[in-house]
Amino acid sequence: MPELPEVETIRRDLAKAIINKKIVDIVIGKKKLIKNSLKTFSRDLYHHKITQINRVGKLLIFALDNKKYLLIHLKMTGQLIYQHCQTIVAGGHNYPPLGLCLPNQYSHIIFTFADHSQLFFNDQRQFGYLNTVNHRQLQTIVNEYGIEPLAKNFTLASLTKALANKKTVIKTTLLNQKNIAGIGNIYADEICHEAKIKPQRTTNKLTATEIKKLFLSANKIIKYAIKYRGTTFSDYVDSQGAKGNYSQHLKVYGREGKICLSCHQAKIKKIKIAGRGTHYCPHCQK
Positions marked catalytic: 2-3, 58, 276
Q: 200 — phi, psi (to 5°)?
A: -90, 5
Helices (H) and strands (E) counted in the chain, each on its own, are 7, 11
Rg of the chain over CA atoms, in angstroms?
20
Residue type, 141: I
- In this structure, the number of other CB atoms found within 10 A of the CB of residue 55 comes to 18
Supply the DSSP symbol for 241: S
Cα–Cα dist 217/235, whole Å: 26
Measured N-to-C along each axis, helices 208-227 and 156-163 cross at an angle, to the nearest 10 degrees, of: 110
Cα-based angle 270, 276, 280 (whole degrees, multiple of 5): 30
- In this structure, the number of other CB atoms found within 10 A of the CB of residue 201 comes to 17
For the chain, helix, strand, coil in percent to 5 are 30, 25, 45
